[in-house]
Amino acid sequence: MTLTIRRVQTRADRRRFVDLLWDVYRDDPNWVPPLKSEELGLIDSTTNPWFKHAEAALWLAERDGVAVGRISAQVDQLVLEHMGPGTGQIGMYETLDQDAGAQLLDTAEAWLRERGMTRALGPISLSIWDQPGLLVDGYDEPPTAMMGHHRREYRGWWEAAGFHQVKDLLTYELDIRIDHIPMIRRLIESGQRNPRIRVRQVDKSRFDEEARLILNLLNDAWSENWGFVPLTPAEIAYAGKKLKPIIFEDLVLVAEVDGEPKAFMITIPDINELIRDLNGDLFPFGWAKLLWRLRKPRVKRMRVPLMGVARDLHGSRLAGQLAFMMIEQCRQVSVGTYGASHGEFGWVLDDNGGMISIAQLPGACVNKVYRIFEKAL
């Protein structure tokens, strides 16, 4: 059978691009079907503000008209500014076999070279803020919300294509029913007695304002991290609109010092537990089911997708104190209100010593590793 690689051009192509996931993971018991509307929205240049500073190309691999693979390549002006000239990215890689995957990678690399790129990073789909990295450890449990899941074979196929490891992204899991060790408990209690420190919940009635505050703080807190690309005002508004249905006031905290926001923590119920049986479809009945479940969600796992401390506090005792005060408040709410037994947070860069030390102190363990590869073009 003849293998062809063709550019995604039409709305029907984009639907085939998304639907391929169901073929790739049909027999994987740990895969969680994503919401198709979210997947389509990510690659829609008319609605996703990421496309205002970036361009992307999508391809399908087909054998006799049947889709067997997909890939994206992208050039982001903010990536070029913050990660260096010539840095292109490849993502959204899914394939049923190595041959199709190799030809897709060749196609994406050629597209990047045509645009003057000298190295490729991937998989990054489409941005570092979406689903970066390829799962290389932790295949035996479902992914939590906003994290990827991949076939075991992919790692070897990327390496065979000449890609090598450049960075690992770690997620940590812990039993949140267990109280903190005495040293952390003393640190938290000291902060609670400090009149300069206030940890507050967000006010969802001022959601747009609170979202801007948190995401601007995120831009500051993460600005020195490898791979950092700032979120634009349009992306902040877009992210806030997407997150609003899964934001619960008692799980999103801002820590203030002398009245100034200095840290934040976003915790969400593991939405994957609530959407798994919807098979990606919100209509005709999935939307009603999801809205009902979100009214008072009860889940096994909570997830902390985003957390940060202002850059001027990095490396200080106060940074850790604020972090653990927020962690403890969310831990109590997660167990008492949402019935959760475990929490997952990350991703954390493998060289982010400050966040790793915070993760390890309460006894959390790495449960998944996502790898970003690099190749000279």
Q: What is the pLDDT of residues 25-41, one digit of tens each?
A: 999 999 999 999 999 99
DSSP structure string for 177-229: TSPPPHHHHHHHHHHHH-TTEEEEE--GGGHHHHHHHHHHHHHHHTTTSTT--
Q: Which residues contact 106 (CB under 8 A, 6 or more apart)?
A: 161
CA angle (347 as vertex; 124, 88 as ends), nearest 5: 20
β-bridge pairing 3-7 and 134-137 = unpaired
Which two three-digit tokens encode residue 278? 């919807």
Domain 3-168 and domain 174-370, same fold? Reply is yes
Q: pLDDT tens digit string along 100-143?
A: 999 999 999 999 999 999 999 999 999 999 999 999 999 999 99
Which pLDDT does position 364 carry in this prediction? 85
Among 332, 339, 344, 331, which Cα is nearest to 370's? 344
Q: What is the pTM of this model?
A: 0.94
Say if CB 197 and CB 240 are below 8 A apart.
Answer: no
**CATH T-level topology, domain 3-168:** Aminopeptidase (3.40.630)
Task: Give residue-wise pLDDT tens across range 340-363.
Answer: 999 998 889 999 888 887 777 677
Rounded to an integer, what distance in angstroms lies between the CA atom of residue 85 and that of residue 70? 26
pLDDT, residue 124, reads 96
More reliable by pLDDT, 245 or 171:
171
Helix count and strand count (H, E) for the chain: 12, 15
The upper half-sphere exposure of residue 155, i.e. CA atoms within 13 Å in the direction of its Cβ, equals 15
The answer to whether 375 and 161 have CB atoms below 8 angstroms apart is: yes
pLDDT tens, position by position, 196-205? 999 999 998 8
**pLDDT value, residue 315:** 86
Q: Summarize pLDDT for 231-286 with one digit per residue, the tens.
A: 898 998 888 888 888 889 999 999 999 999 999 999 999 999 999 988 988 776 67
Domain ranges within the chain, ordered by starting residue: 3-168, 174-370
pLDDT of 221 above 80: yes
Question: What is 174-370's CATH superfamily?
Answer: Gcn5-related N-acetyltransferase (GNAT) (3.40.630.30)
pLDDT at 224: 87
